[in-house]
A and B are shown apart, each in its own frame.
Chain A
Amino acid sequence: MIASPVRMNPQKQPHTQAKVVTLSTPRSSVARRPFPQWLSALAGHILPPLVTLAFLLVLWEVICSSPTASVPSPSRVVSETWELIVHPFYVGQGVDQGLFWHILASLKRVALGYCLAAIAGIALGALVGQSDWAMRGLDPIFQVLRTVPPLAWLPLSLAAFKDGNPSAIFVIFITAIWPIIINTAVGIRNIPQDYRNVARVLRLNQFEYFTKIMIPAAAPYIFTGLRIGIGLSWLAIVAAEMLIGGVGIGFFIWDAWNSSRMSDIILALIYVGMVGYLLDRAIASIAKVVTRNTLSA
């Protein structure tokens, strides 16, 4: 049936015949392909971003190639920051440190502030999600406070802590906590009545209900909050460090600006972006592992 129309008019439509030939040989072409299937699939995912990146770099190079350009071209960035790139673990005096140490200092602040925010956020979210009175009392306050920009807290916390480091940590805490609280509360409000009924029939106590029903059931929501929180924390730390000084990637950028080292700023921005991406991926992978079974039955 399929072959007959081809045979009927081979002279008139040679293209039709050619098409049939290519369709009939996919098996042999797969077998003869030099790369295994997974490799070509990988290339399909990696090539497009690489091509885009190369295109953007070339474009940037062309636009900023004039010697009077205020922003350095990629080649100039690399040549000017080569010392920083190859010596990330350099240890010097005061704030004169390798980029690795700057990023590590920032990550430490984020880790501390974020962990405190996660603990307090889940606890407060659970309270607001569980109790109507807590919801009515606290939710309006949360809704107002969460719109306050992170840096607006900094003067207040500097006044309270009288030191840069705890103030920066506090800014991270106050930035990350709102999405964690709100998402946890929503997750707990959305626990199906069925699960609550199961808990009631089994007479689970408050603690058992919290650990065995509430946290696993709300886990997907909690992780959404945690993921938004880590992104905001990383956004806030760079800004906060610009103001508090000391070792940290934010202050590194500010310091570079004050010394007109534009290439250093660009390198730092690339690192900040990559670290932020990795932090997001890290939380996303933890979420994937933890909540793989929490999807509805």
Chain B
Amino acid sequence: MSKPYLSLEQIDMVFSRGGASTQVLNQVSLDVDKGEFISIIGHSGCGKSTLLNIVAGLTEATRGVVLLEGVVVDAPGPDRAVVFQNHSLLPWLTVYENVKLAVDKVFSGTKSRVERHEWTMRNLELVQMVHAKDKRPSEVSGGMKQRVGIARALAMEPKVLLLDEPFGALDALTRAHLQDQVMQIHAELANTVLMITHDVDEAVLLSDRIVMMTNGPSAKIGEVLDVPLVRPRRRIELASDATYIRCRSAVLKFLYERHRLVEAA
């Protein structure tokens, strides 16, 4: 049996405030292969962002470990680059400088000055943001900011790319456009991606596997669904594809039924 690329083992997360403590995550275990695109879907408050933060190393799990290539993850690092929900670009830096900051830090010892510039430009090209490279984040649209956020994360050449509801704050058209771009980048670079989402279509369209979380508190993995759709995937053709419809309804059923369970409880 070969070791998984990224593995989450028996993750428990308990938040304590004063005397009260809430268990957010309960025995979450997941193995991810190299190059896999995994979506984690669940209702609000099910702890999926907490789970992502644990993988990122930004939050420490109460119990359990995250292993990346067999090494325990206990601190944040550029090998697990995060695309934050609200882009988190530094407003006093230009688009170029935001990406360059990451490139300079990660490749300070391994790439020359010219190479770092070229690598920054290469990643801006990947998200088609070269034209706005000298603009400040406040001067570009929400979709563009998120693209720069993706470029910054990709530029770190992460082992795992972590996307925290990356398109949640965008309108439907921009979201579709960015989803296509992410698919294209994934096809090109074959990154391992862990994405948090609450959008069923997005999950089915992008993922190899969909991890469905039960409702919190004490959320756990309810089901893992394989999405055996061939790549490249085209959203228009998929709309009438039988597999796509089956996967989509499986996720919807899960979310709907779990939701009902909570209401009954």
Contact = CB atoms under 8 A, between A and B. Distances in A.
Interface string B72-98: 000111101110101111111100000
Interface in B28-85: 56-58, 75-78, 80-82, 84
Contacts of B122: none
Interface string A239-269: 0000000000000000000000000000000
Nearest to B89: A297
B136 A202 contact: no
Contact of A297 (B75, B82, B105, B138): B138
Contact of A213 (B76, B78, B90): B90
A202 B78 contact: yes
A96 interface: no
Contacts of A204: 105
Contact of A296 (B80, B84, B91): B91
Interface stretch (A50-58, A142-150, A193-201): A193-201
Interface in A170-217: 192, 194-195, 197-198, 200-204, 208, 212-213, 216-217
Given A293-B136, A295-B138, A198 B92 contact: no
A16 interface: no
Contacts of A198: 84, 88, 90
B207 to A, nearest CB: 23
Contacts of A217: 90, 92
A294 interface: yes
A296 B138 contact: yes
B91 A297 contact: yes
B106 interface: yes
Nearest to A201: B76
Contacts of B75: 200
B86 A203 contact: no
Contacts of A212: 90, 101
Contacts of A201: 56, 58, 76-78, 80-82, 156
Most buried by A among B90, B101, B138, B156: B90
Contact of B90 (A195, A200, A219): A195
A297 B137 contact: yes
Contacts, number: 66
B82 A202 contact: no
Contacts of A195: 88, 90
A197 B76 contact: yes
B148 to A, nearest CB: 10
Interface magnitude class on chain A:
20 to 34
A131 B93 CA distance: 26
Interface string A68-103: 000000000000000000000000000000000000
Interface string A285-297: 0000000011111
Contact of B106 (A202, A216, A294): A202
A24 to B, nearest CB: 40
B145 interface: yes
B86 A194 contact: yes
Contacts of B56: 201
B92 A194 contact: no
A104 to B, nearest CB: 36
Given A198-B88, A201-B80, 16 more contacts: A192-B88, A194-B84, A194-B88, A197-B84, A198-B90, A200-B57, A201-B56, A201-B81, A293-B91, A293-B92, A293-B93, A293-B136, A295-B91, A296-B91, A297-B89, A297-B91
Interface of A: 192, 194-195, 197-198, 200-204, 208, 212-213, 216-217, 219, 293-297
29 contacts: A194-B84, A195-B90, A197-B58, A197-B76, A197-B88, A198-B84, A198-B90, A201-B56, A201-B78, A201-B82, A202-B101, A202-B106, A203-B77, A203-B78, A208-B105, A212-B90, A212-B101, A216-B92, A217-B90, A217-B92, A219-B92, A293-B93, A293-B138, A294-B92, A297-B87, A297-B91, A297-B137, A297-B138, A297-B145
